[in-house]
């Protein structure tokens, strides 16, 4: 009787949604399996951490109040009075950092496995946009607790934005909601963080996933070549459940790391921001902005006839644009890939980010 009811309900949904087609599709979907397969999981880990961000972010929204008089106190309330509030806030903060780290690893694995090559140029471009959005989430979310470090780091960050040629001052004013970082900036950043960025991210993320689905997971040229020489095809495993089970394992490991970090090193709240107090010594942004921040500090205040910071910002803009266009300059006219050039550029960029971030942190 019960079985018949369940079957009837299933058929009701089947008639309206056509779920059997999805089931059929998933039953036949497979992904390649080879020595570099583990790097595929970082895309899924980034997605998993984004999901955690959304869930914990919604929970924080229940208590957070975006005004200069209440923001700090509301976060303090979450951490001290709300059941598991400390855990939710700590998981949100750590997951944000791990998500950006996972996104960087995912990006570099795509570079070193040459997964950006045709026809996956748009997958790469949407991925770069998603990384930019993740950094935007980090920058806008950093100010929300309204503590001293976040206040002055936002001041420095928006000052850098003001150095963008032509539109810089207008951009800084737009970000700050005035001439300086104030309560207006807080509400504006809150709006970006919980409405604008999630909206755009969801759309770009869906496009990115659709493109991954359309073109499937790429096989590194070296692996492809090796199997071709052996006269074999690259082995494949069913997406459901084999790949999903592996991905789930990666997610659980990530969850364990996240739990340890959140429980043993809860994210500190610091002191409430005082806009009239002088900036404390050693103000620096989050780790993922340290490399450009430290580079800007090293550039002399004036280089020839250009202001140092303006020159730095222009150079970073050009570098980001060049990097975003990687699939286009990486392929030759005959369709082959300049693997050595790309690998070299990847090693150079990864080394620069690692070394300058470390220098920015320790100096």
Partner 1 sequence: MRPTITLLLLAAAAAWAQDTCVDCHASLEGNLQAPAKAYADDIHRERGFGCADCHGGDPTAMDPEESMSPAKGFRGAIRRTEIPNLCARCHSDPDLMHRYVPQQRVDQLAQYRTSVHGKRLAAGDENVATCVDCHSVHDIRQVKDPLSPVHPLRIVVTCARCHADEKLMAKYNLWATQPEDYKASVHWKALAERGDLSAPSCASCHGNHGATPPQVSSVAAVCGLCHVLQEQFFDKSPHYEAFTELGLSGCVVCHGNHRIEHPTDKMLEIEGGTCGKCHEADSQAGKIAAEIRGMLVRLAGELERSREILDEARHAGIEVSEAEIQLAQARDNLLKARVTVHSFDVAAVGRDIEEGLQIAAAAYQAGVEALKERDRRRLGLIFSLVAIAVTIIGLWLAIRSREQRAAAPAETARE
CB of 74 to partner 1, least distance (A): 13
CB of 149 to partner 1, least distance (A): 15
CB of 267 to partner 1, least distance (A): 8
Of residues 48 through 87, those in contact with partner 1 by CB under 8 A are 76, 79-80, 86-87
Strands 236-238 and 302-303: unpaired
Q: Does 259 bind partner 1 (CB under 8 A)?
A: yes
Q: Does 263 bind partner 1 (CB under 8 A)?
A: yes
Span interacting with partner 1, options 48-56, 159-167, 245-253, 341-349, rule CB under 8 A: 245-253
User: Taking Cα atoms as reference points, which of 240, 208, 221 lies closest to residue 30?
Assistant: 240
For residues 236 and 284, which CB has a smaller minimum distance to partner 1 in the complex?
A: 236
Q: Residue 84: which region, alpha, beta or left (left: phi > 0; alpha: psi -120 to 50)? A: left
Cβ atoms of 285 and 156 closer than 8 Å? yes
Count Cβ atoms below 10 Å from residue 6 Cβ, excluding itself.
10
Q: Which of 12, 25, 174, 252 binds partner 1 (CB under 8 A)?
A: 252
Q: Does 255 bind partner 1 (CB under 8 A)?
A: yes
CB of 136 to partner 1, least distance (A): 27
Q: Does 249 bind partner 1 (CB under 8 A)?
A: yes
Of residues 266 through 295, those in contact with partner 1 by CB under 8 A are 266, 268-269
For residues 102 and 194, which CB has a smaller minimum distance to partner 1 in the complex?
A: 102
Q: Residue 207: which region, alpha, beta or left (left: phi > 0; alpha: psi -120 to 50)? A: alpha
Contacts 24+ apart (CB under 8 A), 353-359: 353/104, 353/291, 356/290, 356/291, 356/292, 356/294, 356/295, 357/287, 357/288, 357/290, 357/291, 357/294, 359/294
Q: Which of 25, 174, 265, 328 binds partner 1 (CB under 8 A)?
A: 265
d(CA 251, CA 13): 30
Q: Which of 6, 9, 260, 318 binds partner 1 (CB under 8 A)?
A: 260
Residues whose CB falls within 8 Å of the CB of residue 36, separated by 6 or more in sequence, listed in order: 109, 113, 220, 223
Q: Which of 256, 303, 318, 348 binds partner 1 (CB under 8 A)?
A: 256
H or E stretch at 206 = helix 197-215
CB of 252 to partner 1, least distance (A): 5
Interface with partner 1 by CB under 8 A: which residues? Answer: 76, 79-80, 86-87, 90, 241-242, 245-246, 248-249, 252-253, 255-256, 259-260, 263-266, 268-269
């Amino acid at each position: 009787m019960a079985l018949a009811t369940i079957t009837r309900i299933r058929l009701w949904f089947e008639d309206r949604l056509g779920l059997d087609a999805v089931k059929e599709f998933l039953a036949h979907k497979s992904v390649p399996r080879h020595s570099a397969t583990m790097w595929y999981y970082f895309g899924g880990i980034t997605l998993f951490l984004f999901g955690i961000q959304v869930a914990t972010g919604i929970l924080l929204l229940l208590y957070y109040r975006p005004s200069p008089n209440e923001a700090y106190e509301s976060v303090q309330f979450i951490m001290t009075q709300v059941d598991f509030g400390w855990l939710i806030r700590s998981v949100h903060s750590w997951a944000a950092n791990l998500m950006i780290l996972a996104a960087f690893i995912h990006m570099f694995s795509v570079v070193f496995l040459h997964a950006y090559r045709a026809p996956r140029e748009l997958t790469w471009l949407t991925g770069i946009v998603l990384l930019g959005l993740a950094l935007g989430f980090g920058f806008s979310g950093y100010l929300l607790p309204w503590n001293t470090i976040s206040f002055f780091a936002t001041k420095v960050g928006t000052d850098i934005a003001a150095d963008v040629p032509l539109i810089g001052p207008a951009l800084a004013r737009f970000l700050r909601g005035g001439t300086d970082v104030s309560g207006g900036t807080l509400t504006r950043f809150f709006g970006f963080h919980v409405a604008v960025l999630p909206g755009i991210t969801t759309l770009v993320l869906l496009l990115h996933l659709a493109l991954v689905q359309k073109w499937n997971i790429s096989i590194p040229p070296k692996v492809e070549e090796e199997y071709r020489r052996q006269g074999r095809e690259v082995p494949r495993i069913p997406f459901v459940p084999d790949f999903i089970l592996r991905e789930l394992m990666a997610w659980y490991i990530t969850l364990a790391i996240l739990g340890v970090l959140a429980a043993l090193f809860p994210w500190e709240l610091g002191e409430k921001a005082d806009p009239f107090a002088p900036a404390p010594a050693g103000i620096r942004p989050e780790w993922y902005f340290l490399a450009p921040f430290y580079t800007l500090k090293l550039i002399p205040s004036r280089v020839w006839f250009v202001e140092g910071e303006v020159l730095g910002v222009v150079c970073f803009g050009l570098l980001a644009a060049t990097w975003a266009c990687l699939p286009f300059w990486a392929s030759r006219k005959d369709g082959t890939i300049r693997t050595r050039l790309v690998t070299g550029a990847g090693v150079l960029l990864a080394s620069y980010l690692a070394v300058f971030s470390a220098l920015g942190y320790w100096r």
